[in-house]
Amino acid sequence: MVKIAGLTGHEKVLKRTKTIIACILATGLMFAVLSCAPEEEEDERVGVVVTVLPQAEFVENVGGEKVSVTVLVPPGASPHTYEPKPAQMAALAEAEMYAKVGSGVEFELVWLDKLIAANKGMTVVDCSKGTELQEIETEGEHEGEHENHSRLDPHIWMSPLNAQIMVRNICDGLVEVDPGNSGYYEQNRDDYLQQLTEIDRKMRDGLAEVKNRRFMVYHPAFGYFASEYNLEMIAIEEEGKEPTAASLVRLIEKAKAHDIKVIFAEPQFNPKSAEVIAEAIGGRVVLIDPLARDYIGNLRLILSEMLPVME
């Protein structure tokens, strides 16, 4: 088999080609090894764990390339029911900071103590510090009896003004964990706060014009949003459960009475009851996401979905 001395011309060319390829690969490998050196600095990024995706956006806007963010509740999952995976617990053990929402999100109520126990050295930042929690009201009718149930609404991030408070809290946390880069974090924070001010103004101006100020949505994630822009949210879901048949009838009547043309639903939940109502009123279902990572882009999208149907 090995017959180097007696190579044909074609074999020689092939061998030379192979040698050239080997050299290129070796050079490439050398460069790869060399370029590894600066990349090692990436390991020095501050590891930050957050509960929901919008928080990841906040942390990344403040922390820039100096942070590495892990989101515990992944896209498509609900922070009211999600359970962390073992791999996420491992990432958590390496983190230096946990930015909790802090407003009573079930994921945190159930898991936070265990998450903190897995990494006691971690700085825990309460993003809700300084926000004003409001009640979430859902109507429930049981055997003819009309009851109002209320509990605190955890979806604080859906108001851009609350988002500003959350961003400030996140910045304070990063400065505490990594004081050497405080100037960097504070500059980024101010830039992002400016963007949040702008989107808030845009939402406020846009929604000030709408005549029909009621909107119907499956999961009541838009309470702070509604309060901020003087709108009224009518939720379909009742205390985390699908509405009863009687509730559906009542919601259909309400939608007709208030001239609601579109039923909003969230991608994390089954849209079936929203579809039932939409069909009954001759309207349609539009998905809006309270958990999108691109926070500002998503608000813009929500505005563009709401404006035409609330006029």
Site residues for Zn ion per CB under 5 A = 221
Residue pair 232/220 in contact by the 8 Å Cβ criterion: no
CB of 154 to Zn ion, least distance (A): 7
Largest CA distance in the chain: 99
CB of 279 to Zn ion, least distance (A): 25
Which is nearer to Zn ion, 28 or 76 (by Cβ)?
A: 76
Which is nearer to Zn ion, 185 or 269 (by Cβ)?
A: 269
CB of 219 to Zn ion, least distance (A): 5
User: H-helix or E-strand containing 309?
Assistant: helix 295-310
CB of 171 to Zn ion, least distance (A): 25
DSSP string computed for 104-126: --HHHHHHHHHHHHT-TTSEEEE
Residue pair 251/243 in contact by the 8 Å Cβ criterion: yes
CB of 21 to Zn ion, least distance (A): 55
CB of 271 to Zn ion, least distance (A): 15
Which is nearer to Zn ion, 60 or 153 (by Cβ)?
A: 153
Which is nearer to Zn ion, 55 or 68 (by Cβ)?
A: 55
Which is nearer to Zn ion, 105 or 115 (by Cβ)?
A: 105
- Sorted by sequence, the CB contacts under 8 Å of residue 58 that are 6+ apart come out as 50, 99, 127, 163, 166, 167, 170, 192, 295
How far apart, in whole angstroms, are the C-alpha atoms of residue 72 and residue 107? 9
Which is nearer to Zn ion, 221 or 226 (by Cβ)?
A: 221
Q: Which residues of 96-134 are buried (b: 16+ CB within 10 A; e: fewer)?
A: bbbbbbbbbbebbeebbeebeeebeebbebbbbeebeeb
Local structure of residue 241 (DSSP, 8 states) = B
Q: Which of 160, 140, 167 is nearest to 55 (CA)?
A: 167
CB of 276 to Zn ion, least distance (A): 21
Environment class of 32 (CB within 10 Å of its CB; exposed 0-12, middle 13-18, buried 19+): exposed
Residue nearest to Zn ion (CB): 221
CB of 268 to Zn ion, least distance (A): 8
Which is nearer to Zn ion, 223 or 283 (by Cβ)?
A: 223
CA angle 299, 195, 100 (to 5 degrees): 70
How far apart, in whole angstroms, are the C-alpha atoms of residue 91 and residue 217? 35
Which is nearer to Zn ion, 158 or 171 (by Cβ)?
A: 158
